[in-house]
Amino acid sequence: MLDKEQKINLLIVEDQQIIVDGLVMILNGNASFGAITSCTDTNILLDTINENKPNVILMDFNMPNMDGIQCIELILAHYPDQKILMLTGYDDTELIREALRKGALGYVLKNVAKDELIRAIVSVNERKRHLDQQVQNKVLEAFLMNEDKNPNDNPLKKDTFKLSQRELEILKLIAEGNPSSKIADRLFISTNTVDTHRKNIMAKCGVKKITELITFANKNHLL
């Protein structure tokens, strides 16, 4: 148990208030935690951090105005020592890798058990990396798949643009003219997940418009 002055102050960055309320209810009674505050608007994210000075930030990917990756970059540009734990519903390995590359110390899914979430927060507060078991399995699975691939197989896709298999799948559906809602239904994921993938695909390909993306994808044999 931590002493009072050592308690972990938390900031929950999440746009859905019902999830914020649920997390506060789960974590509020734990002796390890001190103040638990929240931010649902990225426009005031830096001000909220400055005001509350959290030890650990619990960060979701889906936020208004900017996604979780952009939030990580913004936070660490202003507060380089800030400890960030991703708490999200996305288990795509490319998103996991990108979040960790950008500076998040941990990554857990929203269906994680309470005890696991608490362990993750405590670990990240100690600057230890923490991936929940589901995330570890996804990362290991992706690693083994890459190990099995011939490095000469389609090197342009693999090495130049770093698009994951799911991103290539979504790119093809985008090129076919499908809106995010239809892609979401077809792949059994949320529209927000599709939009996050869309942003990442366009960023990796260095384009800003769908027409540019399709032209780029055709030119580089990504479809």
Q: What is the pLDDT of residues 62-111, one digit of tens each?
A: 787 888 888 999 999 999 999 999 998 888 777 888 889 889 999 999 99
**With a threshold of 0.95, does the pTM exceed it?**
no
Which pLDDT value is given to residue 150? 53
What are the two backbone dihedrals, phi and then psi, of residue 106, each rounded to the nearest 5 degrees? -145, 165
Measured between alpha carbons, how far apart are the two ends of the chain, in Å? 54
Domain range list for the chain: 4-136, 150-219
Q: Which helix (H) or strand (E) holds 87?
A: strand 83-88
CATH superfamily of 4-136: Response regulator (3.40.50.2300)
Query: Is residue 144 scored above 60 in pLDDT?
Result: yes
Compute the average pLDDT of residues 138-152: 65
Mean per-residue pLDDT, 129-154: 72
User: Which residues make Cβ contacts (< 8 Å) with residue 125, sequence separation at least 6?
Assistant: 8, 55, 56, 83
Q: What is the pLDDT of residues 190-210, one digit of tens each?
A: 888 888 888 889 888 888 888
Task: Tell me the pairing of strands 56-59 and 106-109.
Answer: unpaired
pLDDT level of residue 161 (50, 70, 90 thresholds): low
Q: Are 179 and 191 within 8 A, CB to CB?
A: no
What number of residues does the chain have? 223
Helices (H), the chain: 17-27, 45-52, 68-78, 93-102, 114-125, 133-148, 155, 165-175, 180-187, 191-205, 210-219
Distance CA 77, CA 135 (A): 26
Query: What integer pLDDT is reported at residue 149 of this predicted model?
Result: 54
Closest CA to 48 of 56, 38, 63, 58: 38
* CATH, domain range 150-219: 1.10.10.10
DSSP helix/strand/coil, 60: coil
Q: Cα separation of 45 and 52, whole Å?
A: 11
